[in-house]
């Protein structure tokens, strides 16, 4: 009896965790406009963080808006591999 309750409880927990993880994964996140986003939002991009986010803003303020996603490689510390990881999460216009 005790083992049956444990098995049932384990199955319930597994079902709930799978259901929650799939709903979280299914949520679509709006792409980030790299020409208007602030430091906090940019820092959420893969491979960016606060210091590179600040560098993106500095580059944008100094040299104007980015004309292509690949222009992010102008920012020190951001290479082609980083740009490729975030390519589907960024846009140039709203």
The Cα diameter of the chain in Å comes to 71
User: For residue range 59-72, what is the model confidence (pLDDT) as tens digits?
Assistant: 999 999 999 999 99
Cα 1 from Cα 22, distance rounded (Å): 32
Question: How many angstroms separate the Cα of 67 from the Cα of each of 13, 48, 77, 83, 84?
Answer: 48, 19, 19, 14, 16
Residue 89 has pLDDT above 90, yes or no: yes
Class level of CATH domain 32-91: mainly alpha
Query: Is 0.95 surpassed by the pTM of this model?
Result: no
User: For residue range 14-52, what is the model confidence (pLDDT) as tens digits?
Assistant: 777 776 554 455 456 799 999 999 999 999 999 999 999
What is the domain partition of the chain in residue ranges?
A: 32-91
Nearest to 72 by CA among 8, 46, 1: 46
Q: Three-state DSSP class for 33?
A: strand
pLDDT at 2: 64
pLDDT at 3: 65
Which residues is 90 bridged to in the sheet? 32
């Amino acid at each position: 009896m005790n083992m049956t309750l444990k098995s049932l409880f384990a199955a319930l927990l597994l079902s709930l965790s799978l259901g929650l993880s799939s709903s979280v994964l299914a949520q679509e996140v709006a792409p980030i406009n790299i020409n208007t986003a602030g430091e906090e939002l940019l820092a959420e991009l893969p491979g960016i963080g606060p210091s590179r986010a600040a560098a993106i803003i500095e580059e944008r303020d100094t040299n104007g808006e980015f004309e292509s996603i690949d222009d992010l490689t102008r920012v020190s510390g951001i290479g082609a591999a980083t740009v490729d990881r975030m390519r589907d999460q960024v846009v140039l216009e709203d």
